[in-house]
Structures are given as structure tokens and as C-alpha cells.
A and B are shown apart, each in its own frame.
Chain A
């Protein structure tokens, strides 16, 4: 342990602790900008400078490890003046039009400017001199260089968490900027639209592309029937943007709020998550049968899940040879979209051309996914607008809804029923667990042999998880699987996905089925989730997801009554011709820059 003094108070911290974190122990807050809990230290913004007794210069608290006998002052005159100038210098190169900025009141730079309450300009305003670029090419986010303070959180995110490095630091000095390859539009490079960078950008330089106003227009259009679906991970995070602590579930209140906002039908993506399990589980079993029994060499195994659009774009760019290993299932969002304008329209007797299909997602990549040309199998754009969890919170506030005091209500029908298996789609390992709960039962007629249906080996925050399920006591149809060991793997965060994909590409992996989620922690840590998101918060959201599952009466996808009904009335059976038409898709090879 290391003893040091901060602002004349003693504190003991383990070796390696930074001055910043040592100060936290004492409840002393040191401002930061480039620092982020999920990322390595960068030490480039300097707003965290503090004074060390005896040292000639100020030191960066985020980068400096505490050492024995150190005496630190976080609020001396020297520190205050330096910090003030540092922020003023950042602002001199920053287009500070806060009232028109999407990050207004949510911006870390603005908060600092507020704390140090600047009056008149001390430094020359340099923003007039520079032609900044605003890149609106991605359907998921906007990159506005005039708001960028070059803290490089985004660059570290894209490289450390996602191993995509769609953006890097380019040029130098006053020309330094965050740039894609040759500054090409973000829509034309390897960017997966995952929005992890958006979630970490302290300013308005990276923000989701918002569709709030278009959704309001649809709601106010009395000619339209506006259907909304909510992804599993939204209900465990939305509260954070509305004054709740991380990990509080707000499902029932969220449903009520959506009704009050004026959506005509409030439905659940969880319904199509259950449906995904039926389709994807059947696809997996079919592939296994073709490969093992029929000896079909054309069958691609292992099979990868396909519900994460960031992952899909990643593999299309980086491992085009593995596209046949992807399940052909659309994501639950897109299955829902296609069904909203076909099955739902039929059932409710609504003209599909009058349906506007909106989804609330923890994800920015879903905005991109909804725009893919493949996603029009209903004859219309299957999902019209995608809003993030954050945007929904904005709408709730815009409508003046007193969220905390709302009654809890249930989803509408049809397409509002779900099971615990669908809810856990929101956490890494959840799709795998849901699939195993159903597939094992199809094959053996018995429940998965795990206590209380909780398949512990596939849960948790390890970047790559592996499990083996021995299949015993198969029914007659499936006896070719008797005694087989089903090997599965799970990865979340593209840096981990890349490890598995590479092993598969090099023929070094012996798995049958692999779940991949582009975002750390799965959708609970999605790019569209409340800010901040970090390990602690992801953990809390994950716990919330599993308690939501445990509290539901039905916990296996194949038991969802609406799923049973849709097969009886509409789709006939999993992987039927109609299913393929509406619920499955294909992929395209993309460039590698």
C-alpha cells in the first residue's frame, strides 16, 4: 500500500493506483476529459492537472501513479489557473454553439466551461479560420469535427474495444484531426456503426443521428398507425436517463410512457427474439443434421449468430470468406419490422402502407441495419425509424411525462408477448442460453440440465466464453445427436469477436455454434445506451436482465403463446418458405478500409 496526502488528507491506496483514483477515495473530484474507465490512459487533454509538492511542473492526475509520501494539491491557485487556461484553449478551437448543439446539457466540455464560468474570450477564437467537416454520411451517427477536442476517446474505443480502427489520428499540430482512411465518409469505410465511440465522446463531435422529429411527425399524422417495438436491453437502462440508478428495471413504466407519447401499438422486440430462437435453433439443428448425417460438405459450421448488425458489418468487411457461417436469420428488430407490415397488419386489419414501424434500440448500428436494402421484404421499409434508448428518454422529457409516477402497464397484442429467454438477448451469452434452452428440449424432449434453467457457463463478462453441452436421451428424430457434445462459444466486443472469427477462419476452432455481440457486455452495453456506460454500469444492467428473466412465468422461447400462434396461423413452421421470405436475409462482401 502507498501512503500519500491529497489536499492535506491522508489516503492509502494499492500500488499502481493513479492520483485521480486516489483522490476519488477521499471524495475529491478532479475533472477529466480524455480519461474513460473503459479505456487506457491517454493523458492528452491535461484538464486533470494537479500540483505535486516539490515538483517543477503540474502533473496529469489520470496518468500519474500515486507514490509514497506524495503531497498533492488539486485546487491550488496554480492548478485552478492552469485548468482554466486549458479549457479556454480547448474552447478557442471549438465551435461553442451550445444552444443548437445536440449535446447541450449532456456535454462534459460544457460542464467544465460552466464550472469555471468563463466571461469574455481570453484567447483568439480560431474556429473562424478552419473549414471543419461535418460527416452525416452514416445513418447511425454524425461526426462534427468543429466540436472535437481531440481527446481520442473515440480512437481508443474503436481500436481497444472494437479492433476496427475505422478512425485514427491524422495530421499534426493545428491540423490534427480524427479521420477515417483518407477522410472518406464514415459510410464508406470499415466503421460498423456500433456507436461505442458515440457513447464515449465527451462532446457533440460524435452523436447519434436522431430521428425523433420524424417519429413525432408520424405520431401526429392521424392517417398513420405507428407501431413501436422495444429491445430487451432498453428496459434495464432507460431509467438511467430519467433519474434512476443503473440496474433499475422500468419495463412497465416504459410501456405506459410509450402509450402516452401516442404510439398506436406498443409491442415488444422480445416477441421476435423468441421467434429468432425458433428460426435460428432450427437452422442450427438442420445444418448439424446435413453435416453429420447426410455428410453434406457444403454446410458451413460453426454457425454464427446474426442479431448484431455491428458484427454483421464487421464480418462483411473483415472475414468475407465466413459469410456462409452466419445464420441467415434477420435480427429480431428486422423480423419484427417485416412482420409488423404483414402479419400484424393482417391480424389487426390495417393497411400496411399506413403503418409506420418504429423501434427503440440500445444500438446505433440498428439505424444502419434498418436502412440496408435487404430489409424491405414486407414490400415496404420494414423498420422506418430507429431510436436509441437515449432518444426515447429525450422524447419522454419533451412530452413532459412524470416518468417516476407512471403506472406500469403491459404490452399490446399481437406481437407483445415474450419469455425470459427473449429478455436475456440483451446480455452477452443470452442468445446462446435462450437457444440452448429450446434446442436441447427439441432434441431430447427434456429441459436443459442446468439448475433453474440458468446456464451459468455462458453468462458473465469474460470476453470469450466457451461451453460444452452433452446431448443425451435424444428423441427418435434426433438420435444422430445422441452422445454428441455440442461446443459453443460466445464473444462480445469486436476485439473478442475478432479472436474467434480468426480462429474459425484459420480452421483452429472446433465449435458448432457461436454467439457474437458487437458491443461490450452485449446490447446492455450498446452504443445507444445512456451515457456513461462502463464496466460497473454494464454489470448492473446485466443483473437486471437476469432478474427480469427469473421473474417471468415463461422462460423458454418455444413456449411463447404468440410464437406458437404465428406458426399456426401464418408461418406454418420454422424455416418454412414464408419464414425465409420474411425473416431471413443474405450478406455482402465489403472493402477492407
Chain B
């Protein structure tokens, strides 16, 4: 959980209070904290004078506007057919073993969350994962461990 503090006010200042500002505001919050807390959604709703259910409804439509608590680094493993055929399951297994979490979970130290995603457009360099916004491609189980260890030491 992060503290919303002045975050929402700041975003509203930047993007305005129109209904159209909803998406950019939510995107910016997620850009900074990886997910939307209930508190943040309620505050956005108040600022834009819409209901909290509408904010939640919008956020829940987009996979990348997460409404569940996530770690600092969100790992998204592409589950689409090309990546699957090129060894996605081995990649996933390697990450699970390293981080000691299962798909959908977050490490106890809140550093990593492990999710699947639909196609991220890297089929030609499958298998691929995303860590936050950064794609990593043509992975092998060994390579992916190096990548993640790199983040562990950050």
C-alpha cells in the first residue's frame, strides 16, 4: 500500500477535472505506483465528480490499470500462442522457482509481482516478458533469471 497523499490532487492539477482526464490520471498514478489503491480511486472519483464504481469499472477494463496491490516490479509473462510454443512455461517456472511465488502473487518484500499477459507484440522474438514497461525477449530460463537478478540488485 502506498500513501495517496497529494498524488491525486497533483494529477488533477495536471490533467484537469473533465471526464476525459480520467484515463491520463489513472495511467499516471499507475505509472508511479504500479497499481491503484481503493483510496486513490475514491479520491479520483471525488475530484472528477463521478462515482467510485465508474472509476473502478474503467480501471478494471484495462489489464494495465491494476486494482490489486502489486510489487515494485510487475513481471508480465506473455501467454499468447507463439510465446507458449516457444517455451513460455519454462520461463514462468524458472521465475516462480527463483521468486518463490506463484502466478498472480507478489513477493513478501513487495518487490515482484508475477502475472500473465495477452500478446505484447513480440511474437517474432518469443518468448517475451515485460517488467513494468520494459520488454525482454528471446528468453531462456537461464537468461530470465539473470534479468530478474539484475532487478533484485537494483
A interface with B by C-beta (< 8 Å): 159, 164-172, 179-182, 189-190, 592-593
Contact = CB atoms under 8 A, between A and B. Distances in A.
Q: Across chains A and B, which 4 residue pairs bring their CB atoms closest together, nearest first? A: A168-B57, A165-B51, A593-B52, A181-B52
7 contacts: A170-B56, A170-B61, A181-B38, A181-B56, A182-B67, A592-B52, A593-B38
Given A179-B60, A182-B67, A168 B54 contact: yes
A180 B51 CA distance: 10
B57 A179 contact: yes
B42 interface: yes
B46 A179 contact: no
A168 B45 CA distance: 13
B41 interface: yes
Interface of B: 38, 41-42, 45-46, 50-58, 60-61, 67
A182 B54 contact: no
Contacts of A171: 60-61
Given A164-B51, A165-B50, A190-B51, A179 B61 contact: no
A179 B51 contact: no
Give the dominant DSSP class at A's interface.
Answer: loop
B21 to A, nearest CB: 17
A165 B51 CA distance: 6
B67 to A, nearest CB: 7
A180 B38 CA distance: 12
Contact of A180 (B53, B58, B67): B53
Contacts of A170: 53, 56-57, 60-61
Nearest to A167: B53
Given A181-B52, A593-B53, 11 more contacts: A168-B57, A170-B56, A170-B57, A179-B56, A179-B60, A181-B53, A189-B52, A190-B52, A592-B42, A592-B45, A592-B46
Contacts of A593: 38, 41-42, 45, 51-53
Contacts of A189: 52-53
A182 B61 contact: no
Contacts of A159: 51, 54
B53 A168 contact: yes
Nearest to B52: A593
A593 B41 CA distance: 9
Given A592-B42, A592-B46, A182 B51 contact: no
B46 A182 contact: no
A159 B41 CA distance: 18
Instruction: Give the most central of A165, A166, A180, A190: most B CB within 10 Å.
Output: A165
A170 B65 CA distance: 12
